[in-house]
């Protein structure tokens, strides 16, 4: 069993391009997560992921909640993030929306896994194979290479 776990904000979703996203999140407004546009072609990403699923990969997401957290706000953020994934990347079969700042590997069911993340510190903390997602097309190219290396 092997898996690829994606981060969301800054990797798949353009949260940081939403006007006043930070101020709004701090005010417990979950909607910037909904308004975030995909950072690149989801059609191309889905095509690569379909191939990887055929090769036996599980596709998962492990994403942090907002910094400012409360029980009700966290619940809304989870709903909105899951809605975004359902709309843009329905092949995600394992999804963890976890407390801001916590190590991501802890939550992933499959340990033989690659983390796709735009945050260099998070990639370092993963202690395993990672793909840098700071450039969406670069990330796509890395995923495509996985299809041929297998
Ligand atoms: Mg990120």
Domain boundaries, the chain: 2-149
- Beta strands 57-64 and 94-98: pairing type? parallel
- State the residue for tokens 């910037």: 32
Report residue 115: phi and psi, to 5°.
-100, 130
Which residue, 93, 108, 23, is CA-closest to 58?
93
Q: 41-73, pLDDT tens digit by residue? A: 999 999 999 999 999 999 999 999 999 899 999
Task: Check pLDDT > 80 for residue 149.
Answer: no
Report CA(97)–ligand 1 centroid distance (Å).
Answer: 12
The CATH number of 2-149 is 3.40.50.1000
Report CA(145)–ligand 1 centroid distance (Å).
Answer: 22
Q: How confident is the model at residue 39 (pLDDT cuts 50, 70, 90)?
A: very high
Q: How confident is the model at residue 103 (pLDDT cuts 50, 70, 90)?
A: very high
Percent of the chain with pLDDT over 90: 96
Average pLDDT over residues 114-131: 96
Q: What is the pLDDT of residue 1?
A: 87
Report CA(47)–ligand 1 centroid distance (Å).
Answer: 22
Radius of gyration of the chain (CA): 15
């Amino acid at each position: 069993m092997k898996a690829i776990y994606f981060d969301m904000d800054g990797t798949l979703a353009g949260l940081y391009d939403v006007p006043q996203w930070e101020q709004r999140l701090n005010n417990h407004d979950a909607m910037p997560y909904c308004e975030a546009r995909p950072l690149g072609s989801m059609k191309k990403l889905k095509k690569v992921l379909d191939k990887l699923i055929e090769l036996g990969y599980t596709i998962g997401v492990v994403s942090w909640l907002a910094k400012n957290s409360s029980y009700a706000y966290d619940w809304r953020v989870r709903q909105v993030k899951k809605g975004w994934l359902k709309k843009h990347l329905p092949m995600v079969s394992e999804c963890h929306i976890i407390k801001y700042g916590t190590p991501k590997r802890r939550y992933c069911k499959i340990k033989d896994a690659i983390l796709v993340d735009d945050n260099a510190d998070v990639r370092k903390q993963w202690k395993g194979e990672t793909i840098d997602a700071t450039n969406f097309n670069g990330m796509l190219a890395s995923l495509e290479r996985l299809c041929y290396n297998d």
